[in-house]
Amino acid sequence: MVHVLIAGIVVSAPLAAIAAPAAPAAAKLTPQEIQSTFFTGEAFTATTPSGGTKFKMVFTLDGKVTRTPIGKGGAKGEGSWKLDDNGFCNTWKGKTQNCFTVTSAGANKWSVMIDAMPAAVWSKQGAATPTRASTNP
């Protein structure tokens, strides 16, 4: 029980009644959800973690990926992608492979992570966030 003195009146309330609800944990997308949401040949936007550089990204069904800078900064790129057990991996031409996980980050936004480090934020206009049936009774 929490007691709060407000204008000379003691107000009592259970702590749970005044505590802010916990934010739901970010849902990690399965490799299949990543593919069906993003790797369809349709363009979407990738933003660097600092928010300074944006790219138009296109992952095609044949395992190819392109990025085109939107505005100033950033470099155009081509490469390949494949799904792995935890998410996906991609290799830009002339670079080494990196593997990522993707988690939901709000309406039409997803965080792309390398281990625990943010790599990008992906967004799609009018996209539906993948949902899965609850496994809790």
Residue spans per domain, the chain:
31-123
Main-chain dihedrals φ then ψ at residue 32, nearest 5 degrees:
-65, -35
CA–chain centroid gap for 73, Å, is 22
Per-residue tens of pLDDT for the chain, all 137 residues: 444 444 444 444 444 444 444 555 679 999 999 999 999 999 999 999 987 899 999 999 999 999 999 988 899 999 999 999 999 999 999 999 999 999 999 999 999 999 999 999 999 986 554 444 434 44
Fold classification of 31-123 is Lipocalin (2.40.128)
- For the CA atoms of 42, 49, 85, 82, what is the dihedral angle to 10 degrees? 40
Q: Where are the beta strands (DSSP E) in 54-97?
A: 54-59, 64-70, 77-83, 88-92
